[in-house]
Structure 1
């Protein structure tokens, strides 16, 4: 390592919470995918960390689109928005031969003096019919595809080497 360069944070590829059966897979040093077992047999939810700050026009379009199809939780001027993923998007996210039964995009929106800010924070996917907890490498392929679509970058060719500052 050269003088002045930062050492990358150590990767944590696989952590399991035994009591709840929740697994954490870490990619690109500080991006996490949670694998949560659901009550239904062989069903799991993947919660995938992503980050994209939408520009003003893109944010307005995001907030105005599909108003009948998304849920909003709010507290003062902070809103959590849950938008369902379309069938076309779900069909690109096959895991071990299983297409997600459901998926949603989670965004945080804030309003400050009339200015709107929207940041996509994660994607949640529900898979039913999996034969056990998916492996680190299998989940990596889903993570890579989600990052390509949401962040418009290929994590294999353009990996993150430092934390993105949310200014």
Structure 2
């Protein structure tokens, strides 16, 4: 892939994005996030997503810890963590994750521990899938930026 030019990398990146939208993994909020990035903040999206992934790991760990406690009965506390996860996922355009959060929340509202365990498993699966695909997307984007810089080197101001 390193030999591909910036145009081919751009096309590959767009195909991957199209696939993620077609599969319902991402929605228009992801594009809105990208529109906030400009030349003055070229790594804005990756910085926002790094914060999202860092915080999401904490929330997933909290949810797992709550469910693994044999004496657990505070579904309201679980909903608080889940609502935080759902809000941040929605704000970055993680559509499928948001949908899984809704099912998870329904299980908490019915105090359905087996349903919560299944929902958590689905949530962790979707989260890992999203994280891997966005990592792939940003690797392609970095390669494209490097290829574009190599094609159009900065002029030496002497």
- TM-score range (shorter-chain normalised) is under 0.3
> Which structure has greater helix proportion?
2
Q: RCO (CA 8 Å, sep 6+): is it higher in 1 or 2?
A: 2
Which protein is bigger by CA-based radius of gyration?
2
TM-score (norm 2): 0.26
TM-score (norm 1): 0.25
> Which structure has greater strand proportion?
1
